[in-house]
Amino acid sequence: MLAHKSKWCVAKGCNNNITEKRHFFSFPKEHDRWLQWIHACQRLDLQVMGPEYAYRNCRLCHLHFEEKWYKIGKIRAHLYPDAIPTIFFERE
């Protein structure tokens, strides 16, 4: 999965106004991994939309992944195929 240039993270509680450079990753198309992602980031509202919708329209920033799950190069970031988001901020 490649990082996208989108500047919006769909994780609840994520501060999308952070000024530091962030890398954004598409949701997975594969159904089981997609379910893991929407459960992890508490976005069960995406379940009715399906994995294809989430893949095309939703991004999570690199701040929600442990460093072992991605590699940041000079031009782009790469998320490893089995990465699952595990880092979330205060939830309301």
Radius of gyration for the alpha carbons in the chain, expressed in angstroms and rounded = 12
Give the residue with greater pLDDT, 19 vs 44. 44
pLDDT digits (tens, 9 = 90+) for 75-86: 889 999 999 999
Distance of CA 30 to the CA centre of its chain: 14
Chain segment 40-72, per-residue pLDDT in tens = 998 999 999 999 999 999 999 999 999 999 999
Whole-angstrom distance, CA of residue 8 vs CA of residue 27: 13
Q: What percent of the chain has pLDDT over 70?
A: 84
Question: How many residues belong to the chain?
Answer: 92
Average pLDDT, the chain: 86
CA angle 54, 87, 79 (to 5 degrees): 55
Residue 4: pLDDT band with limits 50, 70, 90: very low
